[in-house]
Structure 1
Amino acid sequence: MGSLLSKTKSSTSSSSKPEKMSTPLAFKHLSGIQTSFKPPLIAHENAFLGDVATSTDATAPISAGFYRLEKGTPLVYEYTYHEMKIIVDGEFDISDETGQKVHAVKGDVFYFPKGSKITFTTETFGLGFFVGQRKEGTA
């Protein structure tokens, strides 16, 4: 449908510049990744994080992956980028420096702005899927 709209628009345009045809881009599919991917340990004895996909846009990269926290030491993390996270399993207790506190469960969605300092803890475990505006491996 996009090419139909492009052709319609270009035929009514007063510009005589030829339209560039681009090569189609394939999407990436990671089958069963939520259950098969084991993120590496990043802090303490209980905090795991790993990127599973990263965009190829050098000026505004985005990375996506999984964060898992198990019962134990709380993780205090200061975001140097913007991030969105959806809780996909388990539970987290999430707080910030403003005093806001949330008991997060499966289905909850969060936005962590650049510069926020977030504390994650859990009495059991929690698994979140994130998308962050950063290069691969820079969390």
Structure 2
Amino acid sequence: MGSLLSKTKSTPSTPTDTTEPKAAMSFTHYAGAQTSFKPPLIANENAFLGDVSTSTDTTAPISAGFYRLEKGTPLVYEYTYHEMKIIVDGEFDISDETGQKVHAVKGDVFYFPKGSKITFTTETFGLGFFVGQRKEGAA
């Protein structure tokens, strides 16, 4: 998760410490993204997905965004990267090639390993927030 800074006493650095201080890096804020970001249509008539942000790490990039499915054609998706997803609204019926099936609702968290083939369907709609180990737009 990174390092934490605290107000605990630390040993002062030695006079021979010549390392340059790291430049401060600012975070990015996407206000109201869950309600204001509208992912584009990616498949069928009812599957929408869009990246909100992607890291600048070219060696191990990560992308995050929203996936929305509306009632209609099931989406069958084969993952070419690892992904985590949290259901933030609505519901999905999620299954895989092993026969595992879950009725997913708000608050449920999933890990989809690279190589898994997942079927998403819904009787209403579902909205998930995802973080995938991939480049921007590589879904």
TM-score normalised by structure 1 residue count: 0.90
Partner of 2:53: 53
Partner of 2:132: 132
Q: Give the fraction of aligned pairs with identical amino acids, expressed as a percent.
A: 81
Partner of 1:123: 123
CA deviation after TM superposition for structure 1 residue 20, in Å: 2.2
Look up the SS of the partner of 1:42 in the other structure: strand
How many pairs does the alignment contain? 136
**Partners in 1 of 2:33 and 2:108 — Cα distance?**
20
Look up the SS of the partner of 1:59 in the other structure: coil
Runs of 4+ in 1 over 3 A off after TM superposition: 1-5
- Give the root-mean-square deviation of aligned CA atoms: 2.1
CA deviation after TM superposition for structure 1 residue 11, in Å: 2.6
CA deviation after TM superposition for structure 1 residue 18, in Å: 1.7
Partner of 1:11: 13
**Structure 2 unpaired stretches of 5+:** none
Partner of 1:64: 64
**Partners in 2 of 1:38 and 1:69 — Cα distance?**
12
Partner of 1:76: 76
**Partners in 2 of 1:3 and 1:122 — Cα distance?**
46
Aligned pairs for 1:107-118 within 5 A: 107-118=107-118
- Greater fraction helix: 1
Look up the SS of the partner of 1:11 in the other structure: coil
TM-score normalised by structure 2 residue count: 0.90
Aligned pairs for 1:94-105 within 5 A: 94-105=94-105
Closer, same or farther: CA 123–25 of 1 in aligned 2, 3 Å = same
String of CA shifts for 1:19-64, please: whole Å, max 9, x gaps. Answer: 2211100010000111011100000000000000111111111000
**Partners in 1 of 2:45 and 2:83 — Cα distance?**
24
**Partners in 1 of 2:137 and 2:128 — Cα distance?**
17
